[in-house]
Structure formats: structure tokens, C-alpha cells
Amino acid sequence: MANWLRTAGALCFVSVAAVSAQYDRAPQPGYRSDVPYDGQLTFVRLRWQSGFGFGRGGGAAWNHDLPRAEQHLALILRELTLANLRADGSRILALDDPELFNYPIAFMWEPGFWNLTDREAVSFRAWLNKGGFAVFEDFDGPSQWSVFEAQMRRVLPEGRLVRLDQTHPIFDTFFRIQDINAIVHPMTGIAPSYYGIFEDNDPSQRLMVIANFDNDVPEYWEWSGEGLYPFDASNEAYKLGVNYFIYGLTR
């Protein structure tokens, strides 16, 4: 992971008053989700099996919001920071793909339907312990939480999911999120909860995992500029996404 550590060391951030959330650029033509590794910072989405069909051309839960969510977040990051996240494409990787070890940050959608293999659990655990940072998005309700919690127990048997509050540095890493409870679920309006697993279960050490529970933050990224959701909510959702990336690069 030496390449992305050098990237983190070279970060130099600009000062901005707010994120331009109502992103009105059309998705770039030719955007790919299979760009080869070349050392450049790249958005990674995790692919996994669920046993549940979700349409979208025969896809599954992991591919929700693909590719507009990561495209829009990448463009925001490139404009507001010197984190050179590529905007022409991203990667989709299985949890046991050795290439995952080339990347510091990975996002997973819909972990409330997650079903991983033993091999995936071992490989994902090794990636997290080596310094990887995982962000879990787009799940809600007791049954989905139960699935997520059970699968994480297979990945990190000793790991404890701890609810995060406003004081955690991840909410003040680049942008200061004034009210983490204000970024409500875009479709239901329910208040979110944020859970993390710390290295060695020590809150003074780095977060290995963060889960946005009872929320769907990437939905705001995907549909910003379309008039579906309030400007302020989309703005805050982008700020949160930027913070996640910067935290993952600098911890």
C-alpha cells in the first residue's frame, strides 16, 4: 500500500465554504468500473453474493447507485481537495480479490443482505488489519442490522461495533459536520446511526470500519442536481463522503 500512503502524505486541502452539492454534470462518457491498477487513488466498490435479486439487469444489492454515486463523489473530491481520485473510472472487487490490497478504502452497499464465504472473511480481515478502511452504506431496520452484525462477526470475531457520536474526528476530518443526525435517510426521513469498529477495540486508535445505519448517503450523491432531495441534505451528504475518504487516507 506504499503508493496510497505517499498520496496521503501529499494531500493539501483547499478552504471552501460549502460543497457544491447540486452537481449538474452528466456522467462522463466512457466511465469504467474495471480500470486497471496504476497507483492512482481509485474508488473501490465491494462485490459479494446475497441470494437476493434486486433487478438492475440481473444485478444484486451491492450494485445500487452504480456508477453515478462514485462518479459524483469523485468529482467533488477532485474539485475540493488535492486527493487525485480518478474520475474516469472505478474498481469493483470481490472481498477475496488480492488486488484489494492495492487500495486503502472500499465501500459496500446493502450489507443487510450480505452473505460472505469463509475465504472472503479471512481475506477481508487481513485487508482491514493491514490498514484498510471499509465504509458500509445503504441498510436499515433490525433484520438488516442482524445480518450485517453476524457477517462482521465472521470477519472480525473480536471486533465490537460501537456507536459513534458527534465528537469523533471522522466528522471533523475535512468538513466539520455540524449535526450528524441531520443527514436523514433520503426516502424515509428516519434519523441515522453511525457505528464503527476500532483497531484493537481501542477508541483512541483508528477506525477500521464505519457503518451508516438507517441511512442511504450515496442516494444523495447519485441524484444530486436532479431536484429529488433538498440542497442542504445533499450538501451534507457530500461533506460526509469527503470526510470518509480523507480519514481513510490519513489514518
* 57 in any annotated domain: yes
Whether 13 shows a pLDDT value over 60: the answer reads: no
Compute the 3-state secondary structure of the chain and give helix, strand, coil in percent, each to the nearest 5. 40, 15, 45
Instruction: Pick the closest to residue 46 from 1, 90, 2 (CA basis).
Output: 90
Whether 16 shows a pLDDT value over 90: the answer reads: no
Average pLDDT over residues 123-141: 97
* 127 in any annotated domain: yes
Confidence of residue 35 (pLDDT cuts 50, 70, 90): very high
Higher pLDDT, 73 or 231: 73
Q: Which domain holds residue 73?
A: 2-10+20-250
* 175 in any annotated domain: yes
Q: What are the tens digits of pLDDT across the range 63-88? A: 888 888 999 999 999 999 988 899 89
Q: Within a 10 A sphere around the Cβ of 29, how many other Cβ atoms?
A: 6
* 160 in any annotated domain: yes
Average pLDDT over residues 236-248: 96
For the chain, percent of residues with pLDDT exceeding 70: 84
Average pLDDT over residues 136-147: 96
Residue 215 gets which letter from DSSP? B
* 15 in any annotated domain: no
| pLDDT value of residue 47 | 93
* 56 in any annotated domain: yes
Which CATH number does the domain housing residue 107 bear? 3.40.50.12140
pTM attached to this predicted model = 0.87
| pLDDT value of residue 82 | 84
Distance between first and last Cα of the chain: 13
Our count of domains for the chain comes to 1
The rounded distance, in Å, linking the Cα atoms of 54 and 116 is: 18
* 232 in any annotated domain: yes
Q: What are the tens digits of pLDDT across the range 85-120? A: 998 999 999 999 999 999 999 999 999 999 999 999
